[in-house]
Chain A
Amino acid sequence: MITMGIDLGAKNVKVVILKDNKIVAKSNVLAGFEVKENAQKAIDIALKQAGISKDDLDKVVSTGAGEKLAPFYDETKSIVGCDSLGAVYLHPAARSVIDVGAEEGRGMRCDNTGKIIDFEVNEKCAAGAGAFTEAMSRALEVSLEELGPLALKSTQDIPMNAQCTVFAESEVVTMVHNKVSKADMSKAIHDAMASRISSMIRKIGFDKDVVLVGGVAKNIGFVTSLNKDLGLEVVVPKDPEYVGALGAALAAAGWKGGA
């Protein structure tokens, strides 16, 4: 059985193709303004990679903020459902999943089949999402890729008081005036963001097997702060940004846990 999952996120379109529940192709394209065209592009890349055509697909599930904008699909499934499905597939012990994307943070608890038991979404707030690190990297004048590793060089804890992206920017300005090192500022930024996310996760509760997915999972500075805050080591799967699309493809295949 060949299935495809499409995850139309706020910033990127991710596509995963499964053959008998094994990943055979994946692609990631910026969503931009022409979401539909770019989604098609992502699909084409993945199909090519898998060496199949659209007609070979048995079922397609679309998910994410723009799920209805996929050029074609058989069904939609919520992103929280897809995330937990994908996380349980990659890490069968996972019962708590955190997804930090460009504009939204999500937390969920699920059972061994990847079915959601409870979930929470960090709404309308960029301070707990990828957009925050983007804004902060601009304020610090370092690239987004450098921002995370920079935090690891920090030598002191500086609490970041502002809980909002706009105010945080001006707080960074104050820190610059106070000659705080960029490494310490970077850590302060990641601590503040981790605090947002752990606050959300505490609301639904978590156990020891926490899987972190979404693009921001690749940010080592954030992961370090989050681990410290939660008092555990979160599991970051390889290619964390594809987990939603993977879950969608698994849902299309009717996968419910197990091999």
Chain B
Amino acid sequence: MIEQFKEWEKNRHEYAKQWKENTRGKVMGYFCTYVPEELLYAAGVLPVRILGSHEPQDVTEPHIFAMFCPFCRDCLAQGLKNRYTYLDGLMIAQSCLHIRQAYTSWIKHRPVEFEKFLCMPHKVQSPHAYEFLTEEYKVFKKEVENWTGKEITDKALDDAINVYNENRRLMKKLYDLRKRDNPPLTGEEVMEVVIANQMTDKAEHNKELKKLITTLEKHTPEREVGSRLMILGSEDDDTVFMNMVEKCGATFVVDDHCTGSRYFWNEVKPGKDRLSSLAARYVDRIPCPSKDWEERKRIPHILQMCKDWRVNGVIIMQQKFCDPHELDFVAIKKALEDAGYPTLFLEFDVTVPVGQFKIRVEAFLEMIGEEDLF
């Protein structure tokens, strides 16, 4: 059912190269989901999210000190190993300091035609963030127009927003199907769909998504559901881990990851002008912990998800050295446990072997499954 998505995810580089050949368009690599892809899409640029490859690597030591998260180093390694030579541009929106280093090192050692650090505000809870970001977008829009040599028309922007919004609605529909007693897809499969979403043409993804949803609507899988789990935390595209857990008698029914629900959860709402509406979407979206202050707005959102998806337990995946998440998980863990959701905390690396985690996951599932046993 999800073969196409898997194929896109596994062969991401071939996909982008092929897209370039077919469309003669430009490809923009981006870090972090605060990049307003709609603007790029409207300019005929394909945005692809840079992710790691989960292999041990030894090329980033000269560039990023080892106290920063393995994910940012894994991403940079992809650039240094020349796996993204087809990129015409590279950009990042202001988020955490870790991933920023992948960007700054990359543009110096593997220069691209167009580079951009977009100053996404940190205080998304400030009423002034909207206007500030709108102004930043105005500048960015001009820069992209200069780069591609053509104007981004209102119509193109509307079309792009529509395609992206449709994608978000479809993704939410897909997630809604997981509320069933017997979710038609595993967490691993959904992860493949979301990751593929971050590196393909959204119009194409939408087409495939619609097909998938139609199929799933009447699909009841044979497998045992087991405990219903939520997974949340740092950037996480570790399908191998998901697979391992779901083979231990559990199903991931929902997540709060930037490589998951946080990516598509919020839509652009039409407003006074297009750029302000777009800015409002990125200011109001479910935040990355680096922007979730002074109030911790993610907590009620997570608790609501647990309730709506009838979760039995939560796995907190903490990327090693990821400070923003480390600054939230103590509060999140407490909130979850106070609300009666048991948690398992795992600190992972981009290359952590599943063997060590399996024992802990099994014990956790045994623990939360106890009520059913006695």
Interface residues of A (CB under 8 A from B): 159-163, 167, 170-171, 173-174, 177, 192, 195-196, 198-200, 202-203, 205, 229
Contact = CB atoms under 8 A, between A and B. Distances in A.
B54 to A, nearest CB: 9
B353 A195 contact: no
Contacts of A195: 56-58
A202 B59 contact: yes
A178 to B, nearest CB: 8
Contacts of A203: 61-62
Main SS of chain A's interface residues?
helix
Nearest to A202: B62
B367 interface: no
Contacts of B57: 195
Contacts, number: 46
B58 A167 contact: no
A159 B55 CA distance: 7
Interface residues of B, number: 14
Contacts of A205: 62
A198 B62 CA distance: 11
B355 A170 contact: yes
Contact of B355 (A174, A198, A202, A229): A174
Nearest to B62: A203
A198 B61 CA distance: 9
B353 A202 contact: no
B355 A159 contact: no
Nearest to B355: A174
24 contacts: A161-B349, A161-B351, A161-B352, A161-B353, A162-B353, A163-B56, A163-B349, A167-B353, A167-B356, A170-B355, A171-B355, A173-B355, A174-B356, A177-B355, A195-B56, A195-B57, A199-B58, A199-B59, A199-B61, A200-B61, A202-B58, A202-B59, A202-B61, A203-B62
Contact of A196 (B58, B59, B62, B352): B58
A164 to B, nearest CB: 10
Q: When A and B form their complex, which 10 residue pairs have the shortest distance between CB atoms, in order from nearest?
A: A174-B355, A199-B58, A161-B351, A199-B61, A203-B62, A195-B58, A161-B353, A203-B61, A171-B353, A198-B58
Given A163-B349, A171-B355, A174-B353, 18 more contacts: A159-B55, A159-B56, A160-B56, A163-B56, A167-B356, A170-B355, A171-B356, A174-B355, A174-B356, A177-B355, A195-B58, A196-B58, A198-B58, A199-B59, A200-B61, A202-B58, A202-B62, A205-B62
Contacts of B356: 167, 170-171, 174
A257 to B, nearest CB: 28
Contacts of B62: 202-203, 205
Interface string B339-374: 000000000010111011000000000000000000
Given A161-B351, A171-B355, A174-B356, A229 B58 contact: yes
A7 B56 CA distance: 34
Interface in B238-291: none
Contact of A192 (B56, B61, B349, B352): B56
A162 B56 CA distance: 9
Nearest to A161: B351
Nearest to A195: B58
Contacts of A192: 56
A198 B57 CA distance: 10
B67 to A, nearest CB: 12
A159 B53 CA distance: 13
Contacts of A159: 55-56, 351
Interface in B148-165: none
Contacts of A170: 355-356
Contacts of B61: 199-200, 202-203
B108 to A, nearest CB: 16
Contacts of A167: 353, 356
Interface in B53-101: 55-62
A200 B62 CA distance: 8
Nearest to B80: A202
Contacts of A161: 56, 349, 351-353
A121 to B, nearest CB: 13
Nearest to A162: B353
B242 to A, nearest CB: 17
Nearest to A167: B356
A204 to B, nearest CB: 8
Contacts of B349: 161, 163
A171 to B, nearest CB: 5
B58 A162 contact: no
A202 B57 CA distance: 12
A203 B355 CA distance: 31
Contacts of A202: 58-59, 61-62
A44 to B, nearest CB: 42
Contacts of A196: 58
A135 B197 CA distance: 44
A85 to B, nearest CB: 25
B52 to A, nearest CB: 13
A237 B351 CA distance: 35
Nearest to A125: B66
A163 B321 CA distance: 15
Contacts of A229: 58
A37 B62 CA distance: 41
Contacts of B59: 199, 202
